[in-house]
Amino acid sequence: MDEQKNRVALPGSERVARPGSRVVGTPDPNQQITITVLVRPRKPIESLATSTELGATPPSQRNYLTREQFAEEYGASAEDLAQVQAFAARNGLTVTEVSAARRTVLLSGTIAALGQAFGVQLANYEHPGGDFRGRTGAIYLPPDLSGIVQGVFGFDNRPQARPHFRRPRPGHKGFAANDVPTGFTPPQVAQ
């Protein structure tokens, strides 16, 4: 198919293997997954007021957009959403949800179909922090979606974040053996 040959890399989509991980196989090509395609806003987000502009106007005197107004001005255009849906149809993918306000199209299909549609090769990885399905390299789009699609999420299920909260160990300075770690209440934070 010509669409497969003329693809362009989605800027910023390049992934590298997680340090300390190793490939242990390939995922089941028939496994169904859902990915999220993020579409460009109708109007550039940069056109929103900057924080310095907002700081010059008291909150009570600012004009605020309703959710509907925000979606109308900064949501995805119907044409862009239609192009993503047409791409999905051409590649045998199912459109499970479309949101102009969130600028997203949810696509589901088999790992094989989604991988082929976006030029992605998935692998199963083993890592001391947990096993995951991941990819390396870029996500590829047909030229007609270049500039329309800003992100594709869901191929990887590797951990993206980890908690940074640390509990003090008993015997640690400032922690008595019978103390229970607690947080602060809102009034304590205010003080």
In the chain, the largest separation of any two C-alpha atoms, in whole Å, equals 69
Query: SS3 sequence, 53-121?
Result: HHHCCCHHHCCCCCHHHHHHHHCCCHHHHHHHHHHHHHCCCEEEEEECCCCEEEEEEEHHHHHHHHCCC
23-52: burial string, b at 16+ Cβ within 10 Å, e else:
eeeebeeeeebebebbbbbbeeeeeeeeee
- pLDDT tens across the length of the chain (191 residues): 455 678 999 999 999 988 899 999 999 999 999 999 999 999 887 666 665 566 677 888 878 889 999 899 899 999 999 999 999 999 999 999 999 999 999 999 999 999 999 999 999 999 988 899 999 999 999 999 999 999 999 999 877 666 666 666 665 555 555 555 567 788 888 88
Let me know if residue 12 belongs to a domain: yes
Task: Name the pTM for this structure.
Answer: 0.77
Q: How many whole angstroms separate alpha carbon 111 and alpha carbon 118?
A: 11
Backbone φ and ψ for 124, nearest 5 degrees, come out as -90, 135
Query: At 47, is the secondary structure helix, strand, or coil?
Result: helix
Q: How many whole angstroms separate alpha carbon 135 and alpha carbon 26?
A: 11
Let me know if residue 31 belongs to a domain: yes
Q: Which residues contact 16 (CB under 8 A, 6 or more apart)?
A: 136
Q: How many whole angstroms separate alpha carbon 16 and alpha carbon 32?
A: 24
DSSP 8-state secondary structure symbol assigned to residue 51:
H
Backbone φ and ψ for 169, nearest 5 degrees, come out as -85, 145
Let me know if residue 139 belongs to a domain: yes
Let me know if residue 64 belongs to a domain: no
Question: What range does the domain containing 95 cover?
Answer: 2-40+76-161
Let me know if residue 10 belongs to a domain: yes
Let me know if residue 132 belongs to a domain: yes
Let me know if residue 22 belongs to a domain: yes
Let me know if residue 69 belongs to a domain: no
Number of domains in the chain: 1
